[in-house]
Structure 1
Protein backbone atom coordinates (compact mmCIF):
# COMPACT_ATOMS: atom_id res chain seq x y z
CA UNK A 1 0.00 0.00 0.00
CA UNK A 2 1.37 3.47 -0.82
CA UNK A 3 2.66 5.43 2.17
CA UNK A 4 1.21 8.74 1.01
CA UNK A 5 -2.10 9.19 2.85
CA UNK A 6 -3.77 10.90 -0.12
CA UNK A 7 -2.84 7.98 -2.38
CA UNK A 8 -4.12 5.48 0.18
CA UNK A 9 -7.43 7.32 0.38
CA UNK A 10 -7.70 7.67 -3.40
CA UNK A 11 -6.98 3.95 -3.84
CA UNK A 12 -9.66 3.17 -1.28
CA UNK A 13 -12.04 5.48 -3.14
CA UNK A 14 -11.37 3.57 -6.37
CA UNK A 15 -12.29 0.33 -4.62
CA UNK A 16 -15.45 1.85 -3.11
CA UNK A 17 -16.53 3.25 -6.47
CA UNK A 18 -15.90 -0.06 -8.23
CA UNK A 19 -17.87 -1.99 -5.64
CA UNK A 20 -20.67 0.43 -4.78
CA UNK A 21 -20.99 2.84 -7.70
CA UNK A 22 -21.18 6.63 -7.63
CA UNK A 23 -23.94 6.69 -5.03
CA UNK A 24 -21.84 4.58 -2.67
CA UNK A 25 -18.81 6.84 -2.92
CA UNK A 26 -18.88 8.76 0.34
CA UNK A 27 -16.21 10.06 2.68
CA UNK A 28 -17.34 7.59 5.33
CA UNK A 29 -17.22 4.63 2.95
CA UNK A 30 -13.67 5.58 1.97
CA UNK A 31 -12.69 5.89 5.64
CA UNK A 32 -13.99 2.35 6.24
CA UNK A 33 -12.28 0.96 3.13
CA UNK A 34 -8.96 2.59 4.02
CA UNK A 35 -9.35 1.54 7.66
CA UNK A 36 -8.70 5.04 8.93
CA UNK A 37 -10.49 6.97 11.67
CA UNK A 38 -13.83 8.53 10.72
CA UNK A 39 -13.37 11.98 9.24
CA UNK A 40 -9.91 11.30 7.79
CA UNK A 41 -11.03 11.37 4.16
CA UNK A 42 -13.01 14.55 4.77
CA UNK A 43 -9.93 16.17 6.33
CA UNK A 44 -7.91 15.51 3.16
CA UNK A 45 -10.71 16.03 0.61
CA UNK A 46 -13.26 18.49 1.98
CA UNK A 47 -15.88 18.01 -0.72
CA UNK A 48 -17.17 15.05 -2.68
CA UNK A 49 -15.90 16.74 -5.84
CA UNK A 50 -12.40 17.01 -4.33
CA UNK A 51 -12.55 13.31 -3.46
CA UNK A 52 -13.73 12.41 -6.95
CA UNK A 53 -11.00 14.53 -8.55
CA UNK A 54 -8.34 12.86 -6.40
CA UNK A 55 -9.77 9.45 -7.30
CA UNK A 56 -9.60 10.24 -11.03
CA UNK A 57 -6.05 11.58 -10.78
CA UNK A 58 -4.93 8.46 -8.92
CA UNK A 59 -6.74 6.20 -11.39
CA UNK A 60 -4.99 7.85 -14.33
CA UNK A 61 -1.65 7.71 -12.50
CA UNK A 62 -2.01 3.97 -11.89
CA UNK A 63 -3.26 3.25 -15.43
CA UNK A 64 -0.41 5.26 -16.95
CA UNK A 65 2.16 3.45 -14.78
CA UNK A 66 0.77 0.08 -15.89
CA UNK A 67 0.83 1.08 -19.56
CA UNK A 68 4.34 2.52 -19.29
CA UNK A 69 5.59 -0.68 -17.67
CA UNK A 70 3.90 -2.77 -20.34
CA UNK A 71 5.44 -0.64 -23.07
CA UNK A 72 8.93 -0.92 -21.55
CA UNK A 73 8.69 -4.69 -21.21
CA UNK A 74 7.17 -5.26 -24.63
CA UNK A 75 9.18 -4.75 -27.78
CA UNK A 76 7.35 -3.76 -30.95
CA UNK A 77 5.55 -6.95 -32.06
CA UNK A 78 7.06 -8.75 -35.04
CA UNK A 79 3.69 -9.79 -36.43
CA UNK A 80 -0.04 -9.40 -35.93
CA UNK A 81 -0.27 -12.47 -33.67
CA UNK A 82 2.22 -10.95 -31.21
CA UNK A 83 0.15 -7.76 -31.14
CA UNK A 84 -3.02 -9.80 -30.62
CA UNK A 85 -1.36 -11.65 -27.72
CA UNK A 86 -0.22 -8.39 -26.11
CA UNK A 87 -3.60 -6.70 -26.41
CA UNK A 88 -5.37 -9.83 -25.15
CA UNK A 89 -3.10 -9.92 -22.09
CA UNK A 90 -3.82 -6.24 -21.38
CA UNK A 91 -7.55 -6.87 -21.68
CA UNK A 92 -7.35 -9.84 -19.32
CA UNK A 93 -5.61 -7.62 -16.75
CA UNK A 94 -8.36 -5.01 -17.18
CA UNK A 95 -11.05 -7.65 -16.58
CA UNK A 96 -9.62 -9.34 -13.48
CA UNK A 97 -8.50 -8.42 -9.97
CA UNK A 98 -7.25 -4.90 -9.41
CA UNK A 99 -7.52 -4.16 -13.13
CA UNK A 100 -11.23 -4.96 -13.03
CA UNK A 101 -11.78 -2.60 -10.11
CA UNK A 102 -9.92 0.17 -11.90
CA UNK A 103 -11.87 -0.48 -15.12
CA UNK A 104 -15.20 -0.27 -13.30
CA UNK A 105 -14.13 2.95 -11.59
CA UNK A 106 -12.77 4.39 -14.87
CA UNK A 107 -16.07 3.86 -16.69
CA UNK A 108 -18.09 5.31 -13.79
CA UNK A 109 -15.83 8.36 -13.85
CA UNK A 110 -16.12 8.67 -17.63
CA UNK A 111 -19.90 8.88 -17.32
CA UNK A 112 -19.58 11.37 -14.45
CA UNK A 113 -17.24 13.49 -16.59
CA UNK A 114 -20.16 14.30 -18.90
CA UNK A 115 -21.42 16.55 -16.09
CA UNK A 116 -17.98 17.56 -14.78
CA UNK A 117 -15.68 18.59 -17.67
CA UNK A 118 -12.74 19.02 -15.27
CA UNK A 119 -12.79 15.24 -14.80
CA UNK A 120 -12.82 14.73 -18.57
CA UNK A 121 -9.63 16.78 -18.83
CA UNK A 122 -7.92 14.40 -16.39
CA UNK A 123 -9.33 11.27 -18.06
CA UNK A 124 -8.42 12.28 -21.62
CA UNK A 125 -6.19 9.57 -23.13
CA UNK A 126 -2.51 10.33 -22.95
CA UNK A 127 0.58 9.19 -24.69
CA UNK A 128 2.20 6.16 -23.12
CA UNK A 129 4.66 3.45 -24.05
CA UNK A 130 1.87 0.90 -24.65
CA UNK A 131 0.21 3.17 -27.19
CA UNK A 132 3.60 3.84 -28.76
CA UNK A 133 4.11 0.09 -29.27
CA UNK A 134 0.82 -0.22 -31.17
CA UNK A 135 1.55 2.87 -33.28
CA UNK A 136 5.10 1.65 -34.07
CA UNK A 137 3.78 -1.78 -35.07
CA UNK A 138 1.18 -0.32 -37.42
CA UNK A 139 3.72 2.06 -38.96
CA UNK A 140 6.19 -0.83 -39.43
CA UNK A 141 3.44 -2.71 -41.27
CA UNK A 142 3.11 0.17 -43.72
CA UNK A 143 -0.15 1.60 -42.37
CA UNK A 144 -0.17 5.17 -43.62
CA UNK A 145 -2.39 6.67 -40.95
CA UNK A 146 -0.87 4.74 -38.03
CA UNK A 147 -1.86 7.37 -35.45
CA UNK A 148 -5.55 7.39 -36.42
CA UNK A 149 -5.64 3.59 -36.68
CA UNK A 150 -3.99 3.29 -33.25
CA UNK A 151 -6.67 5.48 -31.72
CA UNK A 152 -9.42 3.51 -33.46
CA UNK A 153 -7.97 0.13 -32.48
CA UNK A 154 -7.50 1.10 -28.84
CA UNK A 155 -10.99 2.63 -28.71
CA UNK A 156 -12.42 -0.66 -29.99
CA UNK A 157 -10.40 -2.57 -27.39
CA UNK A 158 -11.75 -0.24 -24.72
CA UNK A 159 -15.29 -0.88 -25.97
CA UNK A 160 -14.72 -4.63 -25.82
CA UNK A 161 -13.47 -4.35 -22.23
CA UNK A 162 -16.57 -2.32 -21.37
CA UNK A 163 -18.82 -4.93 -22.98
CA UNK A 164 -17.20 -7.76 -21.01
CA UNK A 165 -17.45 -5.84 -17.74
CA UNK A 166 -21.14 -5.12 -18.28
CA UNK A 167 -22.24 -8.36 -19.93
CA UNK A 168 -19.75 -10.79 -18.42
CA UNK A 169 -17.41 -13.14 -20.15
CA UNK A 170 -13.75 -13.14 -20.84
CA UNK A 171 -11.65 -12.25 -23.79
CA UNK A 172 -9.86 -14.47 -26.25
CA UNK A 173 -7.31 -13.85 -28.99
CA UNK A 174 -10.13 -14.42 -31.48
CA UNK A 175 -11.95 -11.39 -30.06
CA UNK A 176 -8.91 -9.21 -30.74
CA UNK A 177 -7.73 -10.73 -34.03
CA UNK A 178 -10.48 -9.08 -36.08
CA UNK A 179 -9.78 -5.68 -34.52
CA UNK A 180 -6.08 -5.93 -35.37
CA UNK A 181 -6.86 -7.15 -38.89
CA UNK A 182 -9.15 -4.15 -39.44
CA UNK A 183 -6.42 -1.78 -38.23
CA UNK A 184 -4.01 -3.32 -40.73
CA UNK A 185 -6.33 -2.93 -43.75
Structure 2
Protein backbone atom coordinates (compact mmCIF):
# COMPACT_ATOMS: atom_id res chain seq x y z
CA UNK A 1 0.00 0.00 0.00
CA UNK A 2 1.49 3.35 -0.99
CA UNK A 3 2.26 5.81 1.80
CA UNK A 4 2.76 8.93 -0.31
CA UNK A 5 -0.32 11.06 0.42
CA UNK A 6 -0.88 12.07 -3.22
CA UNK A 7 -0.74 8.43 -4.32
CA UNK A 8 -3.08 7.35 -1.52
CA UNK A 9 -5.56 10.05 -2.55
CA UNK A 10 -5.35 9.11 -6.24
CA UNK A 11 -5.84 5.42 -5.42
CA UNK A 12 -8.79 6.27 -3.21
CA UNK A 13 -10.25 8.47 -5.95
CA UNK A 14 -10.11 5.51 -8.35
CA UNK A 15 -12.20 3.52 -5.90
CA UNK A 16 -14.66 6.36 -5.35
CA UNK A 17 -15.08 6.81 -9.10
CA UNK A 18 -15.62 3.07 -9.63
CA UNK A 19 -18.20 2.90 -6.84
CA UNK A 20 -20.01 6.23 -7.18
CA UNK A 21 -19.45 7.29 -10.80
CA UNK A 22 -18.26 10.64 -12.10
CA UNK A 23 -20.88 12.62 -10.19
CA UNK A 24 -19.86 10.94 -6.94
CA UNK A 25 -16.19 11.84 -7.34
CA UNK A 26 -15.78 14.76 -4.95
CA UNK A 27 -13.03 15.93 -2.64
CA UNK A 28 -15.24 15.11 0.35
CA UNK A 29 -16.01 11.63 -0.91
CA UNK A 30 -12.29 10.92 -1.31
CA UNK A 31 -11.58 12.30 2.19
CA UNK A 32 -14.26 10.02 3.65
CA UNK A 33 -13.14 6.94 1.72
CA UNK A 34 -9.51 7.52 2.76
CA UNK A 35 -10.52 8.16 6.40
CA UNK A 36 -8.81 11.54 6.29
CA UNK A 37 -9.93 14.86 7.74
CA UNK A 38 -12.24 16.97 5.60
CA UNK A 39 -10.26 19.23 3.31
CA UNK A 40 -7.26 16.91 2.94
CA UNK A 41 -7.92 16.04 -0.70
CA UNK A 42 -8.54 19.64 -1.67
CA UNK A 43 -5.28 20.65 0.04
CA UNK A 44 -3.41 18.32 -2.34
CA UNK A 45 -5.64 18.67 -5.39
CA UNK A 46 -7.17 22.14 -5.33
CA UNK A 47 -9.73 21.61 -8.10
CA UNK A 48 -11.84 18.70 -9.22
CA UNK A 49 -9.94 18.75 -12.53
CA UNK A 50 -6.62 18.43 -10.65
CA UNK A 51 -8.03 15.46 -8.73
CA UNK A 52 -9.32 13.86 -11.91
CA UNK A 53 -5.98 14.39 -13.68
CA UNK A 54 -4.11 12.80 -10.76
CA UNK A 55 -6.55 9.88 -10.80
CA UNK A 56 -6.04 9.33 -14.54
CA UNK A 57 -2.24 9.53 -14.23
CA UNK A 58 -2.31 6.98 -11.42
CA UNK A 59 -4.65 4.71 -13.35
CA UNK A 60 -2.34 4.74 -16.37
CA UNK A 61 0.71 4.09 -14.16
CA UNK A 62 -1.01 1.08 -12.56
CA UNK A 63 -2.15 -0.26 -15.93
CA UNK A 64 1.27 0.17 -17.51
CA UNK A 65 2.96 -1.60 -14.59
CA UNK A 66 0.49 -4.48 -14.88
CA UNK A 67 0.89 -4.81 -18.65
CA UNK A 68 4.67 -4.59 -18.42
CA UNK A 69 4.71 -7.32 -15.77
CA UNK A 70 2.42 -9.55 -17.84
CA UNK A 71 4.72 -9.22 -20.83
CA UNK A 72 7.85 -9.84 -18.80
CA UNK A 73 6.57 -12.71 -16.65
CA UNK A 74 4.81 -14.74 -19.30
CA UNK A 75 6.77 -15.97 -22.28
CA UNK A 76 5.61 -14.74 -25.65
CA UNK A 77 2.79 -16.97 -26.87
CA UNK A 78 4.15 -19.79 -29.02
CA UNK A 79 0.80 -20.68 -30.50
CA UNK A 80 -2.79 -19.63 -30.84
CA UNK A 81 -3.83 -21.58 -27.73
CA UNK A 82 -1.34 -19.68 -25.57
CA UNK A 83 -2.48 -16.34 -26.99
CA UNK A 84 -6.14 -17.23 -26.36
CA UNK A 85 -5.30 -18.29 -22.79
CA UNK A 86 -3.35 -15.08 -22.21
CA UNK A 87 -6.19 -12.91 -23.48
CA UNK A 88 -8.70 -14.87 -21.37
CA UNK A 89 -6.56 -14.32 -18.25
CA UNK A 90 -6.25 -10.63 -19.06
CA UNK A 91 -10.02 -10.23 -19.48
CA UNK A 92 -10.59 -12.09 -16.21
CA UNK A 93 -8.20 -9.72 -14.40
CA UNK A 94 -9.90 -6.67 -15.91
CA UNK A 95 -13.45 -7.78 -15.01
CA UNK A 96 -12.99 -9.07 -11.46
CA UNK A 97 -11.68 -7.73 -8.16
CA UNK A 98 -9.27 -4.82 -8.26
CA UNK A 99 -9.09 -5.00 -12.06
CA UNK A 100 -12.85 -4.46 -12.29
CA UNK A 101 -12.62 -1.40 -10.09
CA UNK A 102 -9.86 0.08 -12.23
CA UNK A 103 -11.68 -0.81 -15.46
CA UNK A 104 -14.85 0.96 -14.30
CA UNK A 105 -12.81 4.05 -13.41
CA UNK A 106 -10.90 3.89 -16.71
CA UNK A 107 -14.06 3.82 -18.82
CA UNK A 108 -15.59 6.68 -16.84
CA UNK A 109 -12.41 8.69 -17.46
CA UNK A 110 -12.40 7.77 -21.15
CA UNK A 111 -15.90 9.21 -21.51
CA UNK A 112 -14.89 12.32 -19.54
CA UNK A 113 -11.90 12.77 -21.87
CA UNK A 114 -14.31 13.60 -24.69
CA UNK A 115 -14.77 16.96 -22.95
CA UNK A 116 -11.24 17.23 -21.54
CA UNK A 117 -8.58 16.56 -24.21
CA UNK A 118 -5.80 16.76 -21.61
CA UNK A 119 -7.19 13.54 -20.10
CA UNK A 120 -7.36 11.90 -23.53
CA UNK A 121 -3.65 12.59 -23.97
CA UNK A 122 -2.86 10.83 -20.68
CA UNK A 123 -5.12 7.89 -21.54
CA UNK A 124 -3.54 7.28 -24.98
CA UNK A 125 -2.30 3.66 -25.11
CA UNK A 126 1.43 3.34 -24.57
CA UNK A 127 3.92 0.71 -25.66
CA UNK A 128 4.40 -2.10 -23.14
CA UNK A 129 5.68 -5.67 -23.06
CA UNK A 130 2.21 -7.24 -23.43
CA UNK A 131 1.41 -5.13 -26.51
CA UNK A 132 4.79 -6.04 -28.02
CA UNK A 133 4.17 -9.75 -27.38
CA UNK A 134 0.84 -9.61 -29.24
CA UNK A 135 2.44 -7.69 -32.11
CA UNK A 136 5.38 -10.09 -32.32
CA UNK A 137 2.99 -13.07 -32.31
CA UNK A 138 1.09 -11.64 -35.29
CA UNK A 139 4.24 -10.62 -37.13
CA UNK A 140 5.76 -14.10 -36.70
CA UNK A 141 2.71 -15.53 -38.45
CA UNK A 142 3.14 -13.25 -41.44
CA UNK A 143 0.14 -11.03 -40.76
CA UNK A 144 0.10 -7.98 -43.00
CA UNK A 145 0.39 -4.78 -40.93
CA UNK A 146 1.02 -6.43 -37.55
CA UNK A 147 1.00 -3.02 -35.82
CA UNK A 148 -2.45 -2.18 -37.12
CA UNK A 149 -3.80 -5.67 -36.44
CA UNK A 150 -2.45 -5.49 -32.89
CA UNK A 151 -4.33 -2.27 -32.30
CA UNK A 152 -7.49 -3.82 -33.74
CA UNK A 153 -7.14 -7.00 -31.67
CA UNK A 154 -6.51 -5.10 -28.45
CA UNK A 155 -9.38 -2.71 -29.17
CA UNK A 156 -11.68 -5.70 -29.60
CA UNK A 157 -10.43 -7.19 -26.33
CA UNK A 158 -11.11 -3.84 -24.68
CA UNK A 159 -14.62 -3.95 -26.13
CA UNK A 160 -15.22 -7.38 -24.62
CA UNK A 161 -14.06 -6.09 -21.23
CA UNK A 162 -16.40 -3.10 -21.51
CA UNK A 163 -19.33 -5.26 -22.58
CA UNK A 164 -18.85 -7.70 -19.70
CA UNK A 165 -18.59 -4.89 -17.17
CA UNK A 166 -21.86 -3.43 -18.43
CA UNK A 167 -23.85 -6.59 -19.14
CA UNK A 168 -22.26 -9.08 -16.77
CA UNK A 169 -21.34 -12.61 -17.66
CA UNK A 170 -18.04 -13.94 -18.84
CA UNK A 171 -16.20 -14.00 -22.12
CA UNK A 172 -16.20 -17.39 -23.78
CA UNK A 173 -13.12 -19.02 -25.17
CA UNK A 174 -14.94 -19.19 -28.49
CA UNK A 175 -15.29 -15.38 -28.59
CA UNK A 176 -11.58 -14.97 -27.94
CA UNK A 177 -10.69 -17.58 -30.56
CA UNK A 178 -12.81 -15.63 -33.04
CA UNK A 179 -10.90 -12.42 -32.31
CA UNK A 180 -7.54 -14.14 -32.68
CA UNK A 181 -8.63 -15.87 -35.90
CA UNK A 182 -9.77 -12.54 -37.34
CA UNK A 183 -6.46 -10.92 -36.38
CA UNK A 184 -4.55 -13.73 -38.13
CA UNK A 185 -6.49 -13.42 -41.41
Superposed displacement of residue 172, structure 1: 2.6
Counterpart of 2:75 in structure 1 is 75
Counterpart of 2:41 in structure 1 is 41
* Partner SS for 2:121: helix
CA distance in 1, matches of 2:32, 2:177: 43
* Partner SS for 1:92: helix
Per-residue CA distance 1:109-144 (angstroms, 9 max, x = gap): 000000000000000011011100100100111112
Per-residue CA distance 1:4-37 (angstroms, 9 max, x = gap): 1111000000000000000000001001111111
Counterpart of 2:7 in structure 1 is 7
Counterpart of 1:127 in structure 2 is 127
CA distance in 2, matches of 1:170, 1:29: 31
Counterpart of 1:168 in structure 2 is 168
User: TM-score normalised to the size of structure 2?
Assistant: 0.99
* Partner SS for 1:2: coil
Counterpart of 2:66 in structure 1 is 66
Unaligned runs of 5+ in 1: none
CA distance in 2, matches of 1:108, 1:15: 12
CA distance in 2, matches of 1:138, 1:76: 11
CA distance in 1, matches of 2:73, 2:177: 22
CA distance in 2, matches of 1:175, 1:2: 37
CA distance in 1, matches of 2:169, 2:154: 19
How large is the Cα RMSD of the aligned pairs?
0.6
CA distance in 1, matches of 2:146, 2:73: 22
1:1-185 → structure 2 map (5 Å cutoff): 1-185=1-185
Superposed displacement of residue 75, structure 1: 1.3
**Hey, which bits of structure 1, 4+ residues long, moved more than 3 A?**
none
User: TM-score normalised to the size of structure 1?
Assistant: 0.99
